[in-house]
């Protein structure tokens, strides 16, 4: 099964847009109540279920959808939303270009803790008071997108940033705990994660990333481990495994071809690596996933 990638409208009425604000009801009606297949986006996605139940599968991990749960999905992540009848909520879609068009620094997304986790993408539960505050921002964005009056993109950008800041205040994922090294840690972690995302198919060792960052590998691992609770090695290997799972399920490539694509010169090494990290063989994993 080939994975479908959805693209956001970059232009609308000859204006650069790169953002869409919808309700879960609108999407459900458009799909005729039929669950969409697993897919990925080339943009950021926020799904806030205000009144809904079901499940949200993100990169092979299943999460429960409940009222006032907010999900944050990064570009290229494979996900599938399965809800019960007539879900209510908001869906915000936007690209990095949209943030830049609205003078939101490109580092803003990487400096908050909402879109950054390879291993886990749990929903953010919010209480009633927070929901009331966020609903004001959501309604302003929705109305601006529907009416498209002059400067509607700027309005959406302003409220989107406020929405993300409010959510980030409630987020406990991956927060730096060493207050004396917050800035150093944040910068290093951001650089490391970006390097892994760009090079995980070619570079598999912590030493290789430390060389690029011009730091000692032990120091790199200490900073990553202290502030995120996973080692640098774990992060690299988890990223390789995630891509392997995507290719196994959503491509027609053989295990040998996938191994080569992920930087394993010997196919048997890839098979052993996959089983060591997932406790299952490639074929067993493929058979276990129902689409």
pLDDT band, residue 228 (cuts 50/70/90): confident
195 and 162: one domain?
A: no
Rounded CA-CA distance 249/98 in Å is: 32
Q: What are phi and psi of 124, to 5 degrees?
A: -95, 110
Whether residues 103 and 232 share a domain: the answer is no
**One domain for residues 15 and 116:** yes
**Same domain assignment for residues 159 and 216:** no
Write down which residue in 140, 170, 200 finishes a domain: 170
- Could you read off the pLDDT of 74-111 as tens digits, one per residue? 988 899 999 888 899 999 999 988 888 888 877 788 77
Q: Where are the beta strands (DSSP E) in 97-214?
A: 124-125
Crossing angle (nearest 10°) for helices 232-250 and 217-228:
80
- Where is the domain boundary, 170, 200, 228? 170
Query: In the predicted model, is pLDDT for residue 140 greater than 60?
Result: yes
Same-domain status, 183 and 279: yes
Task: Please enumerate in sequence order all residues whose Cβ is within 8 A of that of 147, keeping only pairs 6 or more positions apart, or say none.
Answer: none
- Domain hosting residue 250, numbered range: 179-288
CA distances to 25, 36, 153, 169, 185 from 32, in Å: 10, 10, 29, 36, 47
Looking at residue 162, what is its pLDDT? Answer: 95
Residue 19 sits in the same domain as residue 150: yes
Tell whether 134 and 110 lie within a shared domain. yes
Give me the long-range contacts of 209-216 (CB less than 8 A, separation at least 24): 209/236, 213/188, 215/188
Domain harbouring 35, CATH code: 2.60.120.280
- Regarding whether 129 and 17 lie in a shared domain, the answer is yes
Phi–psi pair at 17, nearest 5 degrees = -115, -75
Residues 89 and 132 in one domain: yes
**Is residue 72 predicted with pLDDT exceeding 70?**
yes
* Residues 266 and 136 occupy one common structural domain: no
> Cα–Cα distance between 140 and 159 in angstroms, integer?
7
Q: Are residues 136 and 78 in the same domain?
A: yes
What CATH number has the domain bearing residue 271? 1.10.10.60
- Is residue 152 located within the same domain as residue 185? no
pLDDT tens-place string over residues 231-276: 999 999 999 999 999 999 989 899 999 999 999 998 899 999 999 9
* Tally of structural domains, the chain: 2
């Amino acid at each position: 099964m080939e994975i479908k990638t959805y693209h956001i409208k970059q232009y609308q009425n000859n204006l650069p847009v790169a953002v869409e604000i919808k309700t879960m009801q609108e999407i459900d009606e458009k799909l005729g109540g039929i669950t969409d297949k697993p897919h990925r986006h080339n943009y950021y996605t926020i799904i806030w279920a205000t009144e809904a139940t079901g499940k949200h599968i993100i990169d092979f991990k299943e999460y429960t959808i409940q009222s006032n749960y907010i999900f944050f999905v990064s570009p290229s992540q494979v996900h599938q939303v399965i809800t019960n009848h007539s879900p209510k909520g908001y869906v915000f879609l936007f690209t990095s270009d949209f943030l830049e068009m609205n003078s939101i620094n490109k580092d803003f997304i990487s400096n908050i803790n909402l879109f950054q986790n390879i291993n886990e993408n749990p929903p953010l539960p919010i209480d009633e008071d927070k929901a009331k505050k966020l609903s004001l921002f959501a309604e302003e964005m929705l109305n601006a997108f529907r009416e498209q009056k002059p400067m509607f993109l700027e309005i959406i950008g302003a409220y989107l940033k406020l929405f993300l800041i409010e959510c980030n205040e409630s987020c406990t994922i991956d927060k730096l705990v060493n207050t004396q090294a917050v800035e150093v840690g944040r910068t290093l972690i951001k650089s490391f994660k970006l390097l892994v995302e760009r090079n995980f198919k070619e570079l598999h060792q912590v030493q290789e990333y430390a060389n690029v960052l011009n730091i000692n590998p032990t120091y790199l691992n200490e900073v990553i481990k202290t502030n995120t609770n996973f080692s640098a090695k774990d992060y690299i290997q988890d990223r390789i495994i995630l891509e392997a799972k995507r290719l196994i399920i959503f491509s027609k490539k053989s295990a040998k071809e996938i191994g080569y694509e992920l930087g394993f010169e010997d196919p048997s090494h890839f098979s052993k690596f996959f089983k060591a990290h997932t406790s299952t063989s490639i074929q067993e994993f493929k058979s276990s996933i129902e689409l």
